[in-house]
Structures are given as C-alpha cells and as structure tokens.
C-alpha cells in the first residue's frame, strides 16, 4: 500500500508539473461549455444561413432547441474527448520504457503489479474527474438555459459512456504492457476496440458488446430504457477486470 501511495503520488505530481493536468482540465471544461453553447447558437447560425439555404430550395422555419439538443451534443463530443485523453496517456508506460526511468524504481524492490495498479488508477482518477466535470458543466448550463427535466435517465446515459471510457483505459493499460512505443500502444488499443466493436454490428450479439454503450444517447430521448443496457454494463465491467488482470500478468513477464 505504501508503494502504491508513493507511486500514484508520483503520477499526480508528474501530470501536474508536465502540464497534463492543465490540458485535461481545459479540455473537459471546454467540451462541457461547448455542448450548451453549440445548442444555443444553432438557431442564430441557421438564421444567418437561411438566405443561402433558401437559394438551394431549403426553407428554414423556426428552429427550436432545448436541453435535449445540448445533451445530444454532449454525446457527440465526449468520444472526441476520450480519444484526446487516450492520446495524452498512451505514453504513460512507453515513455518510462524509453527513458529507462522504471529501472531504478524496480531495483528498489518496487512490485511490478503496483506500478500497473498505480498508473491505471491515476488514469481512472483523471478520467472520472474530467468526464464528470464536463457533465456537470453541461448540466449546469442546460438547467440555466432550458430544463433538464425533459431528458430522461440523464445520469445513466452519461454513466454508460463513462464506463466505455473505463474499458478503453484498461485496454490502453494492457496494450502498454505489451508494446514499447506509444504509437504501438495506441494502435493496439484501437485494435482491441475493433475486436469488440465489429462483432457488435451483428444484431443477435449487438446488445452484449461494449460498443453498444455508444447507443446511450437513445436514453435521454426515451428511445431506450436503462434496463436494455444492463447486460452490456455487466459484460464491460467484466472485460475491464480481465484486461486489467492481463496487464498485470503481462507486465510481470516484461523485459524492462
């Protein structure tokens, strides 16, 4: 536990001093503001464009936006935030392999599983903090401009994509213990995503693949029920645990 505490402290200090923390804060805050802002600006933009649209034969009547428009934006934007998040952390292990900074740490008697645990935990803390900050900002603006009451199961729909992020982070951790360079780590994480995403295109198993979590935007509009997501939530949690365990085993055997 002492080793875990020491190493996760190092991870936080590193993120703070190398500017990762600042980038993440700005990123999630900006995305949080962008969702309601885009929704709010849509009618104005449509008005601006109405003349040119009229020339092509499209007639813009009154455009109405509400909290649902903003939540739809939220669900469109958070995958981009997740990709940037993974880009920032793909060198978490690879940077240490390349510089050799883990060697003095390991020869001090550091347990390898603690390194995997601390690095994964740090990523999860940043993801949790950033993602829910983004959610809170969007929620606050939406409540101010419109009424969140018209969107159903808001928390559940946001939690679905949050869980998808957790699953991708454990995939990144596993890839980081298998490959030495940041680019291979990213490719391998993308590969893992595809392995589970592509079979999800087949209707019979669609509901059981982590990719199904990306259908969470159907929840606020009432097109889906929270219970529809129960199997995929369980499976994704299980997959995340398996990926994490595989990362620990693979890191134990890794030549450093």
Partner 1 sequence: MAILQINNLSKSFGSHQIIDGLNLTVPEHVIYGFVGKNGAGKTTTMKMILGLLLPDGGEILVNGEKVRYGETATNRFIGYLPDVPEFYGFMTPKEYLMLCGEITGMKQDACKKRAKNLLDLVGLSEANKRIQSFSRGMKQRLGIAQALLNSPKLLICDEPTSALDPVGRKEILDILSSVKETTTVLFSTHILSDVERICDETAFLHNGKIALHQTADAVKHGKNVSGIEIEFYRQNDAAHFASKYPGGSETSKTTLRYTQKTENDMSYFMQLLLTEHIPVQRLQTLEPTLEDLFLNIVQKEDN
Interface residue list for partner 1 (CB under 8 A): 2-3, 5-7, 9-10, 13-14, 17-18, 99-101, 103-112, 252-253, 255-256
Residues 40, 157: Cα–Cα separation, whole Å = 22
- In the complex with partner 1, the residue whose CB is nearer, 18 or 128, is 18
| Count of other CB atoms within 10 angstroms of residue 84 | 15
CB of 9 to partner 1, least distance (A): 8
**Min dist. Cβ of residue 10 to partner 1 (A):** 6
Helix (H) or strand (E) holding 20: helix 20-55
Beta strands in 78-164 (DSSP E): none
* Residue 247 structure tokens: 């990362």
Going by C-alpha positions, the residue among 23, 11, 6 that lies closest to residue 95 is 11
Q: Nearer to partner 1 by C-beta: 103 or 136?
A: 103
Please say which residue, 103 or 198, places its beta carbon nearer to partner 1: 103
Exposure of 54 by Cβ count < 10 A (0-12 exposed, 13-18 middle, 19+ buried)?
A: exposed
d(CA 171, CA 132): 21
Q: How far is the CB of 201 from partner 1 (least distance, A)?
A: 40
Task: Tell the smallest beta-carbon distance from residue 117 to partner 1 (Å).
Answer: 14
Burial class (CB in 10 A: 0-12, 13-18, 19+), 16: exposed
Residue 208 C-beta: closest distance to partner 1, Å = 35
Cα–Cα–Cα angle for 51, 71, 212, rounded to 5 degrees: 115
Shortest CB 4 distance to partner 1, Å: 10
Please answer whether residues 40 and 145 qualify as being in contact, where contact means their C-beta atoms are separated by less than 8 angstroms. Answer: yes
**Identity of the residue, 10 or 40, whose beta carbon is nearer to partner 1 in the bound complex:** 10
Q: Which is nearer to partner 1, 227 or 255 (CB)?
A: 255
Q: CB of residue 254 vs partner 1: minimum separation in angstroms?
A: 8
> Tokens 């939530």 — which residue?
233
Nearest CB to partner 1, comparing residues 1 and 202 = 1
Q: Which is nearer to partner 1, 13 or 83 (CB)?
A: 13
């Amino acid at each position: 536990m002492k080793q875990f505490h020491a190493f996760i402290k190092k991870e936080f200090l590193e993120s703070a001093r190398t500017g990762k923390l600042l980038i993440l804060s700005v990123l999630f805050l900006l995305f949080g503001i962008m969702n309601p802002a885009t929704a709010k600006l849509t009618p104005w933009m449509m008005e601006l464009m109405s003349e040119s649209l009229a020339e092509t034969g499209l007639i813009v009547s009154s455009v109405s936006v509400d909290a649902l428009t903003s939540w739809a934006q939220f669900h469109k934007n958070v995958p981009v935030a997740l990709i940037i998040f993974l880009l920032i952390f793909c060198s978490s292990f690879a940077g240490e392999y390349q510089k050799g900074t883990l060697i003095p740490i390991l020869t001090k008697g550091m347990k390898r599983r603690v390194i995997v645990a601390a690095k994964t935990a740090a990523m999860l803390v940043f993801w949790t903090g950033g993602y829910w900050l983004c959610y809170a900002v969007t929620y606050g603006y939406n409540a101010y401009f419109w009424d969140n009451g018209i969107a159903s199961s808001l928390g559940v729909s946001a939690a679905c994509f949050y869980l998808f992020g957790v699953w991708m982070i454990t995939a990144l951790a596993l890839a980081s213990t298998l490959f030495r360079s940041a680019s291979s780590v990213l490719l391998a994480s993308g590969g893992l995503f595809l392995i589970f995403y592509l079979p999800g295109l087949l209707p019979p198993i669609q509901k059981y693949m982590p990719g199904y979590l990306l259908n969470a935007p159907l929840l606020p509009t009432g097109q889906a029920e929270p219970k529809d997501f129960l199997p995929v939530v369980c499976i994704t949690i299980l997959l995340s645990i398996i990926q994490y365990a595989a990362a620990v085993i693979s890191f134990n055997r890794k030549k450093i």
